[in-house]
Amino acid sequence: MSEHLLLAPLLESYFRRRLTKQRNATPATVASYRDALRMLILFAAARLRKKPAALALEDLDRDLVLAFLDELEEKRNNAVATRNARLAAIRSFFHHVAAADPASFGVAQRVLTIPIKRAHIEVTHHLTKAEVDALIAAPDQRTSRGRRDRTFLLFLARTGARVSEAIGINANDLQLERQHPQVLLHGKGRRDRVIPVPQDLVLALTNLLGERGIAKHEPRPIFIGARHERLTRFGATHIVRRAVAKAVAIRPDLADKPISPHIFRHSLAMKLLQSGVDLLMIQAWLGHAQVATTHRYAAADVEMMRNARRASTAITACVSDPTTPFCNC
């Protein structure tokens, strides 16, 4: 087998040239794609009983990639969205292969025909206004940690920021003294956007900056952890978990919901949609590269209406005729 078909040089050129220089990918994207390809290579090595360094490009054929994707869902219990994210990284690599090595075009093309899997629309993965308010109110305002936690939760809920955007903001990204306060979020793919800041969040941020002695135009992180360093994803998740643990005493239904920092983003999107905000405006607000991503919320909203109508019909039938199957009246 010719040397140019070995994986190592193709992987090296992919990460050094395509991702870093040509695509100007963010460190988070590079890390995500590296993880996906590392997992694929380890899977292929185990399946083919080869050392990773001995793998050739032809080993990563369409059937092997499909088997890898199946394992992600069936054995690792990954969601369809995670499976599709791994496939996106693999496809990106094979686009590079097709351009860098014409002799490998056939192998690359067969992998590139693997379709993205359609995900079932999850219509319950957002919170009502009352549930969001309960989480925001949960932290103890008598402690500095509690005040930070409340401000962070309020920031997620009011801006719809991704957790990476929320923990990444600095004081100089805020413009709170304007007639219309706003914050600059540094989004995925180096796409920045400006988001309005409502008055309750303005007050919370102003108090937090004052408590920490940070001038409003300093390039210092707003949200920090116990070691006075920028808050991490892990720390952000713990803030949400602490809030859930306290809020369930008031709203027990929260215990049955999959709550993470990202749910605040989904909840704001649904709130905007149900308030009549245009999809293109929601797309700009959330920083989606394509309106098709934003359209998921509209589809979820329609599905909620269908479910509500089915439930209403079932209740009406049950009241009219208590002998209806499965009637619990």
- The token duo for 155 is 């920031």
- Residues linked to residue 170 through DSSP beta bridges, in sequence order: 221
Contact 246, 138 (CB under 8 A): yes
Helix or strand (DSSP H, E) at 309:
helix 291-320
Taking the C-alpha atoms of residue 231 and residue 261, their distance in angstroms, rounded to an integer, is 13
The residue assigned the tokens 């796409």 is: 191
Active site residues: 162, 188, 262, 265
Taking the C-alpha atoms of residue 140 and residue 133, their distance in angstroms, rounded to an integer, is 14
- The token duo for 16 is 């050094």
Taking the C-alpha atoms of residue 76 and residue 234, their distance in angstroms, rounded to an integer, is 21
- The token duo for 210 is 């004052």
Output the CA angle 309-315-319, nearest 5 degrees: 145
The residue assigned the tokens 């401000």 is: 151
Taking the C-alpha atoms of residue 141 and residue 166, their distance in angstroms, rounded to an integer, is 20
Nearest to 195 by CA among 160, 219, 240, 230: 160
Contact 129, 249 (CB under 8 A): no
Taking the C-alpha atoms of residue 101 and residue 106, their distance in angstroms, rounded to an integer, is 10
Taking the C-alpha atoms of residue 233 and residue 239, their distance in angstroms, rounded to an integer, is 10
Nearest to 79 by CA among 106, 115, 117: 117
Alpha helices in 113-221, H assignment, sequence order: 129-137, 144-159, 163-168, 199-212
Say how many residues make up the chain. 329
